[in-house]
Structures are given as structure tokens and as C-alpha cells.
Structure 1
Amino acid sequence: MEFSAARGRAAALTPHQRGLAAILGAAVLWSTGGLFIKWVSLDAPGVTMWRSLFAALTIAVLVRPRLEMPWRTPRLTWGIAVAYALTLVMFVAATKLTTAANAIFLQYTAPVYLLFAGPIFLKEPTTRLDLATVAVAFAGMGLFFVGRLEGDALAGNALALASGVTLAAMFLLLRAPGCSAETRPAGMLLGNLLLVAALAIVNAARAEPGLFAPSLRDLAGLVFLGVVQIGLAYLLFGYGMATVGALEASLIGLLEPVLNPVWVLLFLGERPGRWAVLGGAVIIGAVAVRTVLAERRRPAAVLHPANAP
């Protein structure tokens, strides 16, 4: 009965609303990364390699996207894969060279780039509501990391900032004309395979196998990270991007760094500071208000792109 009722409510949603729900679900799943990365004893290259391997297997099994030979793979699929892989690699490298707060804050500059890139490349107009939401959300992000941002790790900060650019590029490519329901998972599968191949070489060349050889306890965390936190999350994300604008999706993605410490608090007992709680409330409020107002202004019948699911 409850399942039937849930299906009925889902069927009553518009395609855009289902897309919003999918992007929100992806952000919630992404936010579990901090907890399970703390759980696993491997270092960043080891975690990233295994996580991407399990994510690739998840996407391959659940969706079975068709991959062509490299020279026959469409440029759009390659673009999504490279943007995805660079985003993950640079973010992991940034967290090694600067503080986690710096890395997260600078990566989530992506909505700023999309304010200008969306209208140019996707013809998705930026409204005053969008501008206000980005401004308020970034004020909230500043509160979230008050007292924790440092400016002396130039290389790490530069990588984190670059990962924000590639993240914005991935949003743009996932909304590009011709990006279909088949292209999105294919690009993400290819991106994960690129990471596995590159990091397998890096890890094999290292003198300490213990840095990337998981124990049984580590394996449980890595399976969750690959299957749920990356694999299922990006499938939801790709589905939602068919009907949700790039900027709107990136704003919902801001909930990831807000929810990340919530899981750590619930399961590891690490309490965020008061400024972090206030900043998180500001971000959630800004995104929620923007979503509600935008939905009220949306016409009752909206023509969705032909590549929507």
C-alpha cells in the first residue's frame, strides 16, 4: 500500500520535479563521502581507484551503457568523461595540498561560472532570483567555513579552483544539445574507467602496497563509496540533468558540503561549529526558497528537451 502510494505521488510530479528530486538524491548520496572516506584507511589515490572501479561496475551492471572503441566514441562522451575524471582527481589532490574546507569551498565556485556560461552555451537564462540565490548561498558557505580557510597552500587552492571549473564544464556538457539518456551514463562509465586505469599505474608504481591494498573492513567502505556514493549518485544525477538546468542543479549540489558533517556527527560524533550550523542553514534556506519560487513561476505546461528521459 505504501509503495503504491509513493508511486502515485511520483507519477503526479512533472518531469522537472522528478529531475529536481533526482539531483537532490544525488547530493544526499554524495554527502556520505566524508564519513566513509574517514572509515577507510587507504590514502587518496587508493580510495579513488577502488571507488571508481566499483562505480564503473555499478553503472555497467545497472545501465549497461554502450561504449565504442576510443576512436569512435563521440566527442561529447569524451568531454563528459574527461571533465568528470579531472574533477575527481583535482579535488582529491587539492585535499592533500590544502585544507578540506578550502577544497570544498573553492570547488563549489561552479555556480558562479554557470551564471555566465549557462546563458552563453546553453541559452539557459540567468534570473535575478538566480543571482540572489548564488550570493546568499556563498555568504552561507563563507559562514560554514569561517576560521578554517587558509591562503598559504597556493597549489592546493589552485587545484581546488580548477576542479570548480571542470565541475561547471561537466554540468554544461550534461545539458548540451545531443546529450541523451544514453550519453550521460556512458560518459560517467568512461570517466571512471579512465581513473581506474591511470590510478592503477600510479598505485602499482608505489613502493608501499599497503597504501592501496584494502583490508576486509576497508573493502566494505570502498564498496559503499563506489556503488552508492558515486555509482548510484551519478546515475541519479545524470537522470536529473535531462530536465534540470545546469545552474539550478549546481545550486542543489551545494547541499553536499552542508550534509557531509551531518553524517559524521551522527555516526562518528564529530560536532560542527556554530558558524558551520548557521552557514548550512543559510544555504539550505536559499536553495529551498529559490526552488519553491522558481516552481511557482514555472508555466503549467513546459516543453522539455527531446533528450529527456
Structure 2
Amino acid sequence: MFLEGKKPHLAVIAGCIFYGMNGLFIDRIHDMSIAPIIFYRLFFGLLFLCIYITARGKTSDLKLKKRKGSLLLQGVLVVACMLLYFTCLKITCVSIAILLQYTAPFYVMLASPLILNEKIRKESISALFIAIMGVFLIVKPENLSGIELTGDYMLGIAAGLLSGVIFAALIMNVKILKAEYPELAIMFWPMGVALLLLSPFALEVSPDALYGNLKVLITFGIVSIGLGEIFTILGFANLKAQTGSLLALVEPVSGVFFDIAVLGIGLPSETLAGCAFILASAAFISLKGSENIKESEIKLSFEST
């Protein structure tokens, strides 16, 4: 069946929708700086993953093998990507932060032939061109009413662009790790490394602030790190890096949708047109693109997880 062969595509899309809710939670967290927010988001997300892995009886999947350095690198990249992304989010806005992070497909397209020996397919180039038009329509400054291009704002833009570079490295490193580890290990260990690296920030928040934001932080961790991570890693591990990075552009669209539907942020018609281009790009690469492993292997991978 068509949908059977597209499970990795649908997994990435589902994960990106969960990640697209980040702005909803950030908007509801008060009296906490970026680093403690990320720590507690990771803490509750990792706790959810532990429960999920134990309930599925898959603790044996967490056995450490070779490429421990790549697992450690993945954790460091996760921390750097989160800090840069949320810095951009705090300084600019949800839509801009997501869209700048998702310049990642550009970097994946350039680097994957050298690092992963992937060929640049004409479908990827066509989808990327469509996505470029969508990103341009959304982020061009004249569409961002009420935003001043101050020094702080430009710092936020730089943080967002750098988060895109690191996110591209994350996607490609997942492909490298997939040769040695099952998806659950690729989810769990880097998140554990990231949690340890961010642990010094746990005490930066007062008990009152933590208690006041506790429900939001728990939900944030489960939705973003828990569900978002499960779906996106399943998808990324079973797709070509180019295909996965292009499908991940669904997240900015979902972020824009939540901006409008929940936060009530008014966006111009050009922004909505840009979303349409990005969705068209994701649909095109999903329909025309091909996975880099056999469909039978994809099915076994999903069933084992």
C-alpha cells in the first residue's frame, strides 16, 4: 500500500507538528530564562521516553556499541541547537525562529553528497527551490510588521541561522548513527548527554517559578521531546537526509498555524502563500522522493520500535 511505503515521511511530518507547538508552551512559561526551560523540557521529555521504552520492553535497544563519539556529538549538537533556537525565539518570534532553523535543507543538500555519499536528486532540487520561495515570502522584513531591525534582533537572526546549520548536522549524524544503533538508542542517549550538559542550569530557577510553570513544562517535555523526538527520529533514520530535511519544513508551517489559531498573531497574505509553497515542497518530495533503504527494512524498523 502507498501509506505503508510512506511511514517515514508521515513520521517526520507528525514529529514536526509536535515540534511546531514549541511557541505555544514558551508563551505560557514565565519568570524562567532559556537554559532552565530547555533543561526541564529535556528532563520531562526524557522521563517520558524512559517510560515509553520500558513499557515497550525495548531497554535492550539502549546497549552501547561503537560510535559512542557520534552519540556524544549528537548530544552536544542537541544542546547547541536548542540554545540557539530558543535564543532566536525569545528575541524574534515563533515563525522566524522556526523558519531560520529550517534553512537546514540547504546545508544538507550541500553536505550530504560529501558526508553520506548521497546523490543530489532532481526531485530534491525542485522541492528545495519551491521551499526557498516559501521561506522568502515568510521571512522578508517588510512582511514583519512591528519588528525593528535592532542589534538584538539581528543577534536573534544570527542565532536562528546558526541553529539551522547545527540542525543539518543533527540530521546527517542520525544517518551515521543508524548504521550502528536502533532508533530508540539514537533518541535516548543524546538526550541524556544534553540533560547532563544543561544540569547546572536546573537551580537557576526559583522553587516558586518552577512550581508555577510545572504543568506547562511537563506537557512541553512530553509533547516536544517525547512525541516529537520519537516520530522525527523514526522518520529521519529511514529516509535520505535530503528527503528528511525537506519534509521537516512542515514544522514552520505548523508553527505559523499555531501562531494564528492559538496565539492570535495576525500574519500577512504573503506569509500564508509562503506556507503553501512549503507544503507543496513537502508534498512533492514525499510523492516523488525515494527512501534510502528498502521498504521491508522500514517496516521492520517501525515494528521493532
Partner of residue 69, structure 2 = 75
Assess, with a 3 A threshold, how the Cα gap between structure 1 residues 62 and 196 changes in structure 2: closer, same or farther.
Answer: farther
For residue 20 of structure 2, what is the amino acid of its counterpart?
S
- Does the aligned pair in 2 maintain the 1:32–1:229 contact within 8 Å? yes
How far apart in 2 are the matches of 1:214 and 1:134? 44
TM-score between the two structures when normalised by the length of structure 2:
0.82
Q: Does 1:113 align with 2:103?
A: no
- Aligned partners of 1:166 and 1:108: how far apart in 2? 10
Aligned pair in 2 of structure 1 residues 73, 283: CA closer, same or farther (>3 Å)?
Answer: closer
Kept in 1, the 8 Å contact 2:75–2:191? The answer is yes
| Alpha-carbon distance in structure 2 between the residues aligned to 1:211 and 1:46 | 14
Residue matched to 2:244: 249
In structure 1, C-alpha distance between the alignment counterparts of 2:117 and 2:297, rounded to whole Å: 14
- Of the structure 1 ranges 263-272 and 28-37, higher mean CA displacement relative to structure 2 is found in 263-272
In structure 2, the partner of 1:56 is: 46
Contact 2:15 2:228 in 1 (8 A): yes
The count of aligned residue pairs is 287
Quote the residue 1:200 is aligned against. 202
Whether the 8 Å CA contact 1:118–1:172 is kept in 2: the answer is: yes
Give, in angstroms, the shift of residue 115 of structure 1: 0.5
Structure 1 residue 110, shift from structure 2 partner: 0.8
For 1:3, the equivalent position in structure 2 comes to none
**After the TM superposition, which residues 217-296 of structure 1 pair with which residues of structure 2 at under 5 Å, given as runs?**
218-294=213-289
CA distance in 2 between counterparts of 1:79 and 1:154 reads 28
- In 1, Cα distance between the equivalents of 2:232 and 2:94? 23
Provide the C-alpha distance between the structure 1 equivalents of 2:77 and 2:223, rounded to a whole number of angstroms: 21
Instruction: Give the TM-score of the pair, scaled to structure 1.
Output: 0.81
Question: 1:160-239 residue pairs with structure 2 within 5 A?
Answer: 160-176=160-176, 177-194=179-196, 196-200=198-202, 203=204, 209=206, 212-215=209-212, 218-239=213-234
Three-state SS of the structure 2 residue aligned to 1:270 is: coil
SS in structure 2 opposite 1:117?
Answer: helix
Q: For residues 134 and 198 of structure 1, do their structure 2 counterparts lie closer, same or farther at Cα, with a shift above 3 Å needed? A: farther
Q: Deviations over 1:36-70 (max 9, x none)?
A: 2212224333322221111111112112557789x
Give distance in 1, aligned partners of 2:185 and 2:193: 12
Determine the structure 1 residue equivalent to 2:9. Answer: 20
Query: 1: distance between equivalents of 2:173 and 2:91?
Result: 28
Q: 1:290 to 1:151 in 2, by over 3 A?
A: farther
Map 1:94-109 → 2, pairs under 5 A: 94-98=88-92, 100-109=94-103
Report the AA paired with residue 194 of structure 1: L
Cα distance in 2 for partners of 1:300, 1:165 equals 25
CA drift of 1:98 comes to 4.8
In 2: Cα distance, 1:52 partner to 1:36 partner = 14
Q: CA deviation at 1:171?
A: 0.4
- The residue that corresponds to 1:35 in the other structure is 24
Letter in 1 for 2:134: G
Distance 1:42 1:253, change over 3 A: farther
The structure 2 residue matched to 1:92, chosen from 86, 108, 115, is 86
**What letter matches 2:9 in structure 1?**
L
By how many angstroms is 1:226 displaced? Answer: 0.3
SS of the equivalent of 2:237 reads coil
Distance 1:210 1:92, change over 3 A: farther
1:186 Cα deviation after fit: 2.5
Tell me: CA distance 1:110–1:183, structure 2 relative to 1, closer, same or farther (3 Å).
same
Q: Deviations over 1:270-301 (max 9, x none)?
A: 33221111111111012112211225xx7996
For the aligned residue pairs, the C-alpha RMSD in angstroms reads: 3.1
AA matched with 1:143: L
Question: Does the 8 Å CA contact 1:45/1:212 hold for their aligned counterparts?
Answer: no
Corresponding position of 1:140? 134
Q: What percent identity do the matched residue pairs reach?
A: 22
Q: Which residue does 1:6 correspond to in 2?
A: none
Please report how far the alpha carbon of residue 161 of structure 1 lies from its aligned counterpart in structure 2 after TM superposition: 2.0
Amino acid at match of 1:270: I
